């Protein structure tokens, strides 16, 4: 009897241990709980992260590998999470995507993150992260997307990033990085857009040469160079002689520099006094002789900057983004004529301006005679002077002439998305599917920034393919803020003048003239359909049937004719992602504006559905079909 009871007890004990062991949380699940412990989840979004679960695969924001339940991606953007990123993140060896953007995280980027050697995409933008980028980021050899923008990061950009050969998207803008951006590896392929807002960076990528403390270009020899080899055996007398000679040379050079500086300042003062006397004499004699009419109002002697005050000319640049003498800028602006016209917008003509060093800018002229243009100009000045984002056209400065006002922007030589989709087909420059996805995602980032990160919020009111400009890497930049409307009060969305382009406008906007963020979302949904179909919103093939691109697409979807929707010129489209884009576009173009997502949600959908979990699937060696 005792033997029987003993066997029964042993069986029950073993069964209990087996059941406990079988229901224990996986190691990756335990790691996630460690990460959660360092986060401040004020909205309880992570409430279903429970230690009693067998695995974390059904937890909020977590996806796993199907075979072993290891964590593959963490997607927790826009959740108002505070706290720090736990060093335990490095234990997730199979992690391919980490998206913690648009939260309130602080502290440093843990060095242990570089242990996640399978990582493909890292999104940490719009937090309050401090410190620098871990120097061993080069360990993340599979990394294709790195977005650390809009944080408080500082220090140098590690050279190890240049060794990430698969990296095709880099955004370090709006931080406090400093020093030289090394021209090595993949780092040499990125341009100023990846580093906007870091005023202390220098290098060829940001078109700013690095300088020594004396203002000369820094040319530092490499340690391996034979030119810096130092003789090992020299007499003490020889060394002393070299040191004394060097010191005497430095003193002589310093004296000469001071002498030249003194002479220059005296001559400059004399020239200024003489110039002021001449200007004053001319003004007293006949002010009208100082100016004469030109296409921008009045032409003046551009080297006499003191005259600008008297004749109403004013030049302002933002953040030192226009490093040229004022007289050169004014001279170039005055010399623009019809041969320099590259386009015409709703509020003025756009010119191409080439400086003496061959740097090119776009200049938008706003006529003072146009009704409301003064107010539009002042609004653009206030908004664009403070906005810096990788997917928005950068405003460099403005110039006010007596009869016109000019806005100076970056010049994007590849033209607009409208050109590529509709004008360049005859030239064989067709956008492939990878490029279209990149344009959709970048445009969404720019528009979401206007809606959710600017204070007050900005409604664009004219989202269309001709207002999406492309750089040499086909990175999109949202342009034309002539119609931007500041929303001081979320409940006061009242603008009674309908602006925009027919075919892109939301139904309620056409009826009421009231613009809101949701009308921009509708226009963006039409833009997505334009990217998929390759057709303008009012293409004649369906406009004559009384349809626009929204109605035409919905009709074909109901008839299960997905292949007929996709642009015939884009032969590499992936049907799974086409369906995902069309689903997002359908949500954006919902007839009920309350049912449409915000641009924040649209961006999240695009990032999750299109770029996750395998962003490398959408890489291409060419941006053209």
Q: Known binding site for ATP: residues?
A: 364
User: Helices 599-606 and 517-533: crossing angle, nearest 10°?
Assistant: 30
Cβ neighbours of residue 547 closer than 8 Å, sequence gap 6 or more: 555
Cβ neighbours of residue 98 closer than 8 Å, sequence gap 6 or more: 73, 74, 89, 113, 116, 119, 121, 122, 123, 124
> Tokens 């963490």 label which residue?
74
- Read out DSSP for 212-278? -TTSSBP-PPPTT-GGG---S---HHHHHHHHHHHHHHHHHHHHHHHHHHHHHHHHHHHHHHHHHHH
Distance CA(465)–CA(468), nearest Å, equals 5
Token pair for residue 596?
């449409």
Token pair for residue 453?
């990160």
Query: Three-class SS of residue 201?
Result: strand
Distance CA(522)–CA(602), nearest Å, equals 11
Closest CA to 398 of 307, 322, 449, 347: 322
Token pair for residue 573?
């489209």
Give CA separation, 405 vs 297, 304, 308, 325, 334, in Å: 9, 20, 14, 19, 12
Residue 415, CB-side half-sphere exposure with 13 Å CA sphere? 12
What number of helices (H) and strands (E) belong to the chain?
15, 23
Closest CA to 315 of 305, 355, 377: 305
Token pair for residue 532?
């998929």
- Read out DSSP for 380-399? HHHHHTT---TTBPPEEEEE
Is residue 462 annotated as part of the catalytic site, yes or no?
A: yes
Q: CA angle, 498 as apex, 494 and 502 as ends, to 5°?
A: 140
Choosing from 147, 462, 520, 539, the catalytic residue is: 462
Contact 74, 613 (CB under 8 A): no
Burial 378-411 (b: 16+ CB within 10 A, else e): ebbbebbbebbbbbbbbbbbbbbbeebbbbbbbb
Closest CA to 334 of 319, 351, 320, 321: 351
Contact 163, 148 (CB under 8 A): no
Closest CA to 363 of 411, 327, 312: 411
Query: Three-class SS of residue 342?
Result: strand
> Tokens 């220090």 label which residue?
155
Residue ranges with strand state E in 303-402: 314-317, 341-345, 348-354, 360-367, 395-400
Token pair for residue 136?
């061993």
Query: Three-class SS of residue 121?
Result: strand
Catalytic (active-site) positions: 462
């Amino acid at each position: 009897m005792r033997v029987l009871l003993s066997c029964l007890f042993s069986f029950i004990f073993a069964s209990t241990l087996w059941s406990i062991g079988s229901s224990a949380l996986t190691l990756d699940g335990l790691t996630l709980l460690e990460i959660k412990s360092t986060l401040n989840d004020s909205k309880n979004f992570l409430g279903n992260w429970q230690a009693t679960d067998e695995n974390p695969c059904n937890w909020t924001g977590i996806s796993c590998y199907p075979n072993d339940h290891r964590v593959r991606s963490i997607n927790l953007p826009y959740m108002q999470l505070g706290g720090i990123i736990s060093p335990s993140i490095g234990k997730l060896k199979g992690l391919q995507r980490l998206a913690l953007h648009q939260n309130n995280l602080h502290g440093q980027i843990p060095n242990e993150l570089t242990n996640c050697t399978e990582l493909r995409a890292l999104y940490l933008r719009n937090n309050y992260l401090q410190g620098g980028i871990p120097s061993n980021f080069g360990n993340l050899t599979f990394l294709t997307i790195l977005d650390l923008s809009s944080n408080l990061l500082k220090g140098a950009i590690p050279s190890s990033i240049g060794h990430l050969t698969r990296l095709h998207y880099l955004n370090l803008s709006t931080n406090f990085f400093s020093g030289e951006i090394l021209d090595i590896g993949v780092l040499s392929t990125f341009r100023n857009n990846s580093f906007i807002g870091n005023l202390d960076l220098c290098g060829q990528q940001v078109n700013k040469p690095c300088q020594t403390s004396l203002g000369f270009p820094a040319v530092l020899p490499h340690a391996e160079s034979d030119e810096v080899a130092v003789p090992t055996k020299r007499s003490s007398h020889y060394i002393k002689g070299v040191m004394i000679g060097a010191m005497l040379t430095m003193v002589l050079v310093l004296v000469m520099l001071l002498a030249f500086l003194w002479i220059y300042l005296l001559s400059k003062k004399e020239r200024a006094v003489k110039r002021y006397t001449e200007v004053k004499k001319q003004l007293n004699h006949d002010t009208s002789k100082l100016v004469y009419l030109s296409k921008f109002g009045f032409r003046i002697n551009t080297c006499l900057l003191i005259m600008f005050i008297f004749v109403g000319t004013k030049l302002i640049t933002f953040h030192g983004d226009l490093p040229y003498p004022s007289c050169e800028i004014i001279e170039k602006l005055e010399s623009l004529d019809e041969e320099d016209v590259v386009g015409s917008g709703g509020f003025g003509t756009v010119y191409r301006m080439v400086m003496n060093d061959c740097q090119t800018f776009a200049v938008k002229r706003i006529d003072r005679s146009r009704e409301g243009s003064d107010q539009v100009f002042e609004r653009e000045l206030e908004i664009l002077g403070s906005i810096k984002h990788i997917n928005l056209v950068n405003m460099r400065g403005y110039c006010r002439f007596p009869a016109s006002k000019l806005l100076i922007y970056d010049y994007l030589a590849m033209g607009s998305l409208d050109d590529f989709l509709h004008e360049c087909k005859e030239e064989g420059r067709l956008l492939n599917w990878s490029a279209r996805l990149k344009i959709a995602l970048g445009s969404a980032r720019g528009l979401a920034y206007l809606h959710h990160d600017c204070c007050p919020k900005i409604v664009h009111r004219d989202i269309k393919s001709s207002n999406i400009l492309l750089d040499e890497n086909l990175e999109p930049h949202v342009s034309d803020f002539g119609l931007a409307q500041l929303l001081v009060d979320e409940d006061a969305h009242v603008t009674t003048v309908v602006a925009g382009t027919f075919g892109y406008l939301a139904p309620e906007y056409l009826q009421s003239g009231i613009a809101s963020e949701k009308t921009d979302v509708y226009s963006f949904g039409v833009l997505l359909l334009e990217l998929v179909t390759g057709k303008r919103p009012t293409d004649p093939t369906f406009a004559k049937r009384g349809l626009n691109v929204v109605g035409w697409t919905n009709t074909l979807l109901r008839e299960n004719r997905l292949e007929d929707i996709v642009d015939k010129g884009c032969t590499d489209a992936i049907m799974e992602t086409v369906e995902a884009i069309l689903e997002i576009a359908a949500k954006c173009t919902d007839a009920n504006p309350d049912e449409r997502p915000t641009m924040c949600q649209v961006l999240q959908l695009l990032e999750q559905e299109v770029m996750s979990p395998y962003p490398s699937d959408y890489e291409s060696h060419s941006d053209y079909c």
